Amino acid sequence: MSKEEIYTIPILDAFNTDCECPFCHLSDSLEKDTIDFVLGPSYMDVSIRQITNTTGFCPTHFAKLFNETNRLGMALILESHMKKVRQDLEDRMNSDKPKGFKMGKRTALDPVKDFTDTLVDHCYICDRIQDFLDRYMDTFFYLWKKDSSFRVLVTASKGFCIKHFGQLYGIGEHVLKDKDFQDFKTDLIAIQQTNFDRVIKDLEWFITKFDYRYENESWKQSKDAVSRSIQKLSGIKP
């Protein structure tokens, strides 16, 4: 079984799910699985602990982990992560200054600044989600190229959030041949605009419903129009 085939089922499931972006849907379940994994079977696993010690977590995921019930697991993860951060900082402070470092002028090569920047830029959960999403994107194009029924499924979907729309557009430009990319681009933009129109229409009706003349009318599909608009624009499900 090729690696694309392994990821085909989650991709098809996501495109068969009623949502504003199948990749956000995949990302949400990856996030949930990874949080359960971090505070479940993995936190006593030395190899995983070595990674979380180095990367730590972003503010969003620290908050989500804190809200879980395994406080002892969290304390153990934090204890070894904090000790590692303290040690790494000490090592960086004591390390030789790199070439290009000028006294009195801090540059990006400063080992301490490089250390803090790297720590801030990484999160075990975000990195794992992105790693899987990259494979799902590869699988998307594998299916797009070989399976016409998948194209039908994508065309019938509700489109994507702006971030994942942009990623599909960018990756498509690299992995598809010129002519195929032109066709893909046309289809992708049509799907996106049609579905932006759908959400805008729901939003308009939601606003109209606040006019007393329409208060007895049905909400139609508009009750969650504000939440779905934010999902379309940002990928975040409020």
Interacting residue ranges for Zn ion, rule: CB under 5 A = 21, 23-24, 58, 61, 123, 125-126, 161, 164, 235
Cβ distance to Zn ion smaller for residue 26 or 205: 26
Shortest distance, position 122 Cβ to Zn ion, whole Å: 9
Shortest distance, position 41 Cβ to Zn ion, whole Å: 20
Cβ distance to Zn ion smaller for residue 122 or 185: 122
Cβ distance to Zn ion smaller for residue 205 or 225: 225
Shortest distance, position 138 Cβ to Zn ion, whole Å: 17
Cβ distance to Zn ion smaller for residue 8 or 231: 231
Cβ distance to Zn ion smaller for residue 107 or 155: 155
The DSSP secondary structure of the chain, one letter per residue, reads --HHHHTHHHHHHHHTS-SS-HHHHHHHHHHHHHHHHHHTTTTT-HHHHHHHHHH---HHHHHHHHTSS-HHHHHHHHHHHHHHHHHHHHHHHHSPPPTT-BTTB--TT-HHHHHHHHHHH--HHHHHHHHHHHHHHHHHHHHHHH-HHHHHHHHTS----HHHHHHHHHHHHHHS-HHHHHHHHHHHHHHHHHHHHHHHHHHHHHHHTTSGGGTTS--TT-TTHHHHHHHHHHS---
Shortest distance, position 39 Cβ to Zn ion, whole Å: 14
Shortest distance, position 29 Cβ to Zn ion, whole Å: 13
